[in-house]
Amino acid sequence: MPSVRPHVLVAMLLMVGILAYAVHMVVNEAKVRVTLEGQQHPFAPAALRFRVRVEPDTANRALTVALVSAEYERSSLEQLEGADAQITRWIDFVNVPAGAYVAEAVVHRPTATIWRAHMFVTVQ
């Protein structure tokens, strides 16, 4: 039985892992994504702009984007036109006080699984 050098085995295992991760990302691509545009560490009172990407689908009815902390909550609700809705939209929250927040985007779909995405934001 031929021997395999340890560094060759590690390289092969690493390549298999990278390939498996890439396949996972393609198959399970997020249906909704939320990202913070501009400063990644804003100062209070902050103006936060979120970019939300929603994959068009006939079951999509509405989009809620919420910014929540222990002392603060603000949200936005927007109607979606199913498969005809625009893919990218921007949601602005102004005069946000200092604190740690969760920004969450929820696509309301009455006959199918609800799509969600979130991210954490700290305003200093």
| Number of domains comprising the chain | 1
Q: How many distinct helices (H) and strands (E) make up the chain? A: 1, 7
114 domain residue, yes or no: yes
Task: Report the CATH number that the domain containing residue 42 is assigned in CATH.
Answer: 2.60.40.10
Instruction: Name every residue whose Cβ is closer than 8 Å to that of residue 58 and which is 6 or more positions away in sequence.
Output: 82, 83
Which domain covers residue 46, as residue numbers? 30-123
Which has more pLDDT, 22 or 5? 5
**pLDDT for 19:** 62
Greater confidence, 26 or 108?
108
The residue ranking higher by pLDDT, 85 or 14, is 85
Q: How confident is the model at residue 111 (pLDDT cuts 50, 70, 90)?
A: confident
Question: Does position 26 have pLDDT exceeding 60, yes or no?
Answer: no
